[in-house]
Amino acid sequence: MRKYLVTGGAGFIGSSVIRELLKDKSNNIVMLDAITYSGRRENFSDLTDNSSFTFIEGNICDDQFCHQLILDTKPDGIINIAAETHVDRSIDSPDVFIQTNILGTQNLLKIALEHWQTLTSGQQEKFRFVQVSTDEVYGSIDIGEVDEGSSFRPNSPYAASKASADLIVRSYNRTYGLPTIVTQGSNTYGPRQFPEKLVPLIILRALSGLSLPIYGDGKNVREWLHVDDHARGIYLALLNGLPGHHYNLGSTNRITNTEMVILLIEALKPFIEEKNKDQLINSIEYVPDRPGHDLRYSMNSIKSRQELGWRVSRGLNDGLLSTVEWYLENKDWWKPITDNNYSLTRLGSMEG
């Protein structure tokens, strides 16, 4: 039996990683989450009866709390997914991104190192600290692809906070020998994603008969990855990744934001009344762009396929259709969000 501490497990990606880990009956999972607006108890309510799963509410920035937690649980590995992740919110409120994403990660690393230094040599060799990050640290890619050796060129406060944390993680490996691994994931979609992000935002606005907002001219290119594939890549990095290494997790499904919205419209059509189907495409509304909006993301993920044995299993059309179906079948998950003064708007335009 191996015990893993997963931070941020109540979030969109985190709850999927928990489910991936629990597929292996030899894993015992301790989940730490602060339960913020997007990290919700509803994301893991189906797991609470699992004897291999323990939820603990707390914040990675709380030094004494995290120190006692790791002292008590003695994990064989840590997966740090706890983070503020929405670019728009980072534009309006960068302070919380610096606090959680940088200082919170540093706090975890410090305590993880203290724990690791108490282990036997055999336990130290097996221990891993996995930092879950983003392709946005590479910045906008004019042509071609970035690989794990490419420079970080973040352009938003969110991306800069994640890049900073990733470099601190790297330093703990190079300076202290802590066996760290960093994953860089591309834009992720799927069930349980808070509707500030493009895919659930468009789905829920379309179902509500609202306009479908797209930033700028809609030509920004993103690489879309289903959350199940992302979660499996993170787990494989934990199992097979080499300490001190970064692993890109990209799908090669690269399309413009306008193309993504059109694909979502097509996925929604079977579930929309006939008289409203033609209105969907006319509901697209191009809104003022956000500052520092990266034009294009494109990652080379050959290293992850070769070293981790990772493969993308979900095609984009199939993944979007199943995502639409999930939101249609789980109104009890998202209705409390929209009923609680969340207006399904885009943030971060800084107008005026």
Catalytic, out of 158, 172, 215, 235: 158
pLDDT tens track for 82-98: 999 989 899 999 999 99
Give the pLDDT of residue 347: 52
Percentage of residues in the chain with pLDDT exceeding 90?
89
pLDDT tens track for 98-107: 999 999 999 9
* C-beta separation of 92 from 25 below 8 A: no
Catalytic, out of 136, 166, 196, 229: 136
Catalytic, out of 135, 196, 223, 229: 135
207 phi, psi to nearest 5 deg: -65, -25
Q: Is residue 174 pLDDT above 80, yes or no?
A: yes
If you average pLDDT over residues 50-76, what whole number do you get?
A: 98
pLDDT tens track for 250-298: 999 999 999 999 999 999 999 887 656 678 889 999 999 999 899 999 9
Location of each CATH 3.90.25.10 domain in the chain: 198-220+254-300+313-339
Tokens of residue 35, six digits:
């339960």
Fold of 198-220+254-300+313-339: UDP-galactose 4-epimerase; domain 1 (3.90.25)
If you average pLDDT over residues 316-336, what whole number do you get?
A: 97
Give the mean pLDDT of the chain. Answer: 95
If you average pLDDT over residues 24-40, what whole number do you get?
A: 96
Q: Which of 51, 48, 61 is nearest to 7 (CA)?
A: 61
Fold of 2-189+227-249: Rossmann fold (3.40.50)
If you average pLDDT over residues 320-345, what whole number do you get?
A: 90
| pLDDT classification of 351: cutoffs 50, 70, 90 | very low
Give the pLDDT of residue 339: 87
Active site residue 136: yes
Tokens of residue 145, six digits:
């692809």
Location of each CATH 3.40.50.720 domain in the chain: 2-189+227-249
Query: Residue 104 CB: number of other CB atoms within 10 A?
Result: 25
Active site residue 135: yes
Which position has the token pair 């097509």? 266
Report DSSP state, residue 80.
E
pLDDT tens track for 113-163: 999 999 999 999 999 999 999 999 999 999 999 999 999 999 999 999 999
Active site residue 327: no
pTM score: 0.96
pLDDT tens track for 176-205: 999 999 999 999 999 999 999 999 999 999
If you average pLDDT over residues 23-38, what whole number do you get?
A: 96
Give the pLDDT of residue 348: 47
Give the pLDDT of residue 344: 76
If you average pLDDT over residues 206-226, what whole number do you get?
A: 96
